[in-house]
Structure 1
Amino acid sequence: MQAVRRVKSDHETITFFVAFGAVRQMCRLATTFDTQKQAFSYLQKHRTEFEQMARTRLASGELEDGVVVLSML
């Protein structure tokens, strides 16, 4: 499983994809950072934890409109 660079998003969320074999799952991360650059840097540093959270939510069927939604506290 690997994170792929995010697609363009608004200032409050960043979107990234997690690969599960040949399938890519869209994930949206609501952030508390002022800029997307800061949020993406944090995502890269803690990628393993976010991938695990995304995997857990996907396995339990916790999707919103087909997207895994995560948020920073």
Structure 2
Amino acid sequence: MRVVPRGKPDGGTITFFLALGAGRQMCRLATTFQTQKQAFSYLQKYRTEFERVARTRLASGELEDGIVVLSMH
């Protein structure tokens, strides 16, 4: 998984790529954190869980504009 910081005003939203063999799938995680640094720490802490959920959603075709969208719960 590769995390790409984005300079967007949505603060706690971060984008990362899920490795799929030689390919990559863009994923977006929306959190309630105020900063991307906090959101990144949260993603790192629960990385395995988010990767599992992202793979499940990708396999079932749950995409929004070609992106796997995840949110904090």
TM-score, reference length from structure 2: 0.90
Residues 29/47 of structure 1: CA separation in 2 closer, same or farther (3 Å cut): same
Q: Show the 5 A alignment for 1:34-45.
A: 34-45=34-45
| Unpaired stretches in structure 1, ≥5 consecutive residues | none
Aligned with 1:65: secondary structure?
coil
Cα distance per residue 1:19-52 (max 9 Å; x no partner): 0100100000111111100000110111000000
User: 1:58 maps to which residue?
Assistant: 58
| Unpaired stretches in structure 2, ≥5 consecutive residues | none
Q: Is the 8 A contact 1:9 1:15 kept in 2?
A: no
Q: Show the 5 A alignment for 1:1-73.
A: 3-10=1-8, 11-73=11-73
Structure 2 CA distance, aligned partners of 1:6 and 1:40?
Answer: 10
Count of equivalent residues? 71
Q: Percent identity?
A: 73
Residues 37/57 of structure 1: CA separation in 2 closer, same or farther (3 Å cut): same
Aligned with 2:54: secondary structure?
helix
TM-score, reference length from structure 1: 0.90
